[in-house]
Amino acid sequence: MFPLKDNNPSYTRPIVNISLILINVIVFIYELLQPNIMGFMYKHAFIPAMLFDYHYIFSSLIRAFNSMFLHGGFMHIIGNMWFLWVFGDNVEDRLGHVNYLFFYLVAGYVSMIVQGAITPHSTIPLIGASGAISAVLGAYLVFFPHAEVLTLLPIFIFITFVWFPAWLYIVIWFFIQYLNGIFSVVSESMGGVAWFAHIGGFIFGFIVAKIVLKKEYR
């Protein structure tokens, strides 16, 4: 299930969302220019095992920020940036430019802390914008549940296009993350994906959006 677009136009120019996408792309190009990409990741990315060592608390905060803009390959960045393109503009429209940027960055930190708490001994660099983008999906679910999302849906050897209600698409997406997260704990294998960063980011975004919505209706 891959989202192609929604039917939910934004009423302001999503300058922060576009800027985030451009920064991610620029950083990815910079990654590709490195002679030793893996060494570059270990030097600059967030490593869960460092999070709870007081010697590395400050550097972990810097590394977590870096990790929000680092990606592990073309499919990784294309998938993340496309989700951000489809869903981020509306959330920025609702929150406002400055609030959206703050929300996105805090969500990135929260998602990495959650993943770090689940895998506190992992020395594998945690990279990608997916934790923050998961928060965007959580907020989108609250703000725009009745929007529709055009989805590329493969069925066996066939590909079809289906308009899903946003709430249904995002609930299915979250359910997949949740199942994979539980399976990764049971099997003691993350499979290279930080599922709990997705789950933590999504819940954070959902809660923040609920609080915003409650304040709007006072």
Give per-residue pLDDT as tens, 56-87.
888 889 999 999 999 999 999 999 999 999 99
* Whole-number Å distance between alpha carbons of 44 and 50: 12
Provide the angle, in degrees to the nearest 10, between the axes of the packed helices 37-44 and 15-32.
130
Residue (of 120, 116, 122) closest to 201 by Cα position: 116
- The verdict on pTM exceeding 0.75 is yes
Q: Are 102 and 21 in contact (CB under 8 A)?
A: no
* Whole-number Å distance between alpha carbons of 121 and 149: 39
- Give me the domains of the chain, ranges plus CATH numbers: 2-216 (1.20.1540.10)
* Three-class SS state of 187: coil
* Whole-number Å distance between alpha carbons of 99 and 5: 24
What does the pLDDT look like over 14-46, one tens digit per residue?
999 999 999 999 999 999 999 999 999 999 999
